[in-house]
Chain A
């Protein structure tokens, strides 16, 4: 229980009042992950290893990443794996079946997605077909948590939410429990030279509105990748901690595309964020 004290002066007379607050339902610790494609040890040393308990991997139908995933488990971390396969083919079913068996054999929690960030890779119909064929194969394994990972920036405008985000949600897979989470990748808009106004944490509110709209307001939220050009934008990710619906977030700690290796005040901010007691250690 927390005691809150208030003070006011009325016509010069000092007055005091108190009230109490009880915070209920402490959050499950946030699992914080990271990706560095070619400098993992360096990046981990820069941010400090404490509090980094997951590692993001990107697999394809020709590169299954098993060695990297097994090494992640050996390091005591949770693998977060996306299989970027493209539109469904007959071969994908046997491939994902084999990968599901492999992941199940690891005996530790694993997060997995099929075809993350699909917009402009395929049509919504093709994406939904791949989800309905392949996500249940992963979901059948008790240790694998499955969900879609869509582009966060598609939440930034009502037009994109309506046309390019919501139609890509397989609501039936939320309804029948195949999906364990709803994922987005979320980067600050703009570029390093001209940073945009939307930060990676700014998409949580519209995402929750979308989830409520499909009848799944409490589905756990996963941030598959995130980064920001500036520290004040990175600070929007405080919501990942403050909102207990966010269960896992992976920093994309690479330079290139929409990412930029943490340095300067962004690195300082992240190290402070990572030290919060609500982060899984």
Chain B
């Protein structure tokens, strides 16, 4: 069972400071490599071939939400930033 964590840095910002929120997923099954094998006969001769692909996790992160903060996406989909409001 996968779990999601959210880390805020800094956790005690001054008003106006940039807060960075970073997602992390743990407990998800490892990516799987799948091998597909095939065979054919050409002019009576048996031929074999195989190829692989990797099954990765489809993860979609959404903007964190909080009263008084508006998070903006960064180039890293796991990372979002906001400006700390007045206390």
The residues of A with any CB-CB pair to B shorter than 8 Å are 2-13, 15-27, 239, 241-244, 277-278
Contacts and interface: CB of A to CB of B under 8 A. Distances in A.
B86 A4 contact: no
Enumerate the 8 nearest inter-chain pairs by beta-carbon distance, A residue then B residue, closest first.
Answer: A242-B16, A15-B4, A6-B6, A23-B87, A26-B87, A17-B6, A4-B66, A17-B4
24 contacts: A4-B21, A4-B64, A4-B65, A5-B64, A5-B65, A5-B66, A6-B62, A6-B64, A11-B2, A13-B2, A15-B3, A17-B5, A18-B6, A19-B21, A20-B8, A20-B11, A21-B84, A22-B12, A23-B14, A25-B87, A26-B86, A27-B16, A242-B16, A277-B86
Contact of B12 (A5, A6, A24, A244): A24
Given A15-B4, A23-B85, A9 B59 contact: yes
A13 B4 CA distance: 11
Contacts, number: 114
Contact of B23 (A6, A18, A20, A27): A6
A223 B19 CA distance: 26
Contacts of A23: 12-15, 84-87
Interface string B47-78: 00000000001111110111111000000000
Task: Specify the main secondary structure of chain B where it touches its partner.
Answer: strand
Contacts of B58: 9-12
A27 B86 contact: yes
B16 A15 contact: no
Nearest to B82: A4
B14 A25 contact: yes
Nearest to A246: B16
B8 A25 contact: no
B6 to A, nearest CB: 4
B4 A16 contact: yes
A4 B61 CA distance: 14
A244 B15 contact: yes
Given A18-B6, A21-B66, A8 B61 contact: yes
A19 B6 contact: yes
A6 B66 CA distance: 9
A106 to B, nearest CB: 30
A150 B57 CA distance: 55
A6 B67 CA distance: 13
